[in-house]
């Protein structure tokens, strides 16, 4: 069976601007360069999977249906830009729930592995938080890029292979 190379992307802060518990289409603003970057990844033969913690569901700020509606909108916008998102996995739990799917736990990667044969050694994780980079480390994804954000500090920068200021900069890093 063929294996897939995947770019795993965090959502809030990587795909869209993170304004805190984003669940309304009107509040969903794509990051500059996200479509160009994803087109670059696709041209290199990567599939794209989004992995996102969504504790707002567990906290009761919004529902799973709200998340599904927003995800459909997001995927449609990618499709309009000639990008197919292979899948979107989310964790609806709060940190104190101690579930196996909340990053940095590897449950979302395990879910993706059950559905798709993924070559984790040649895949990438791109995120803006320590939990994204730790997810990659915990799951055996060796290639990591941290996007500088209000959440980053030197510990995260030392753990990640690369640190950039924007998703656009990843085009110079991710190669075949």
Q: Which of the residues are catalytic?
A: 10, 12
Supply 105's token pair.
Answer: 């736990």
CA distance 35 to 40: 9
DSSP string, 30-78: BPTTHHHHHHHHHHTTEEEEEEEE-HHHHTTSS-HHHHHHHHHHHHHHH
Eight-class DSSP state of 107: H
């Amino acid at each position: 069976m063929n294996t897939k190379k995947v770019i795993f992307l965090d959502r809030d802060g990587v795909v869209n601007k993170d304004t805190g518990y984003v669940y309304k289409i009107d509040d969903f603003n794509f990051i500059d360069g996200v479509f160009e970057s994803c087109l670059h990844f696709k041209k290199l033969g990567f599939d794209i999977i989004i992995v996102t913690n969504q504790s707002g569901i567990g906290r009761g700020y919004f529902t799973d249906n709200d998340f599904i509606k927003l995800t459909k909108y997001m995927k449609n916008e990618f499709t309009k830009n000639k990008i197919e998102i292979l899948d979107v996995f989310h964790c609806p739990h709060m940190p104190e729930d101690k579930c196996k799917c909340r990053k940095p736990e590897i449950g979302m990667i395990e879910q993706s592995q059950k559905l798709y044969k993924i070559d984790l050694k040649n895949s990438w994780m791109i995120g803006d938080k320590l939990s994204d980079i730790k997810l990659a480390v915990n799951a055996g994804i060796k290639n990591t890029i941290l996007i500088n954000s209000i959440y980053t500090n030197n510990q995260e920068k030392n753990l990640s292979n690369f640190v950039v200021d924007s998703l656009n900069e990843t085009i110079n890093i991710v190669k075949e």
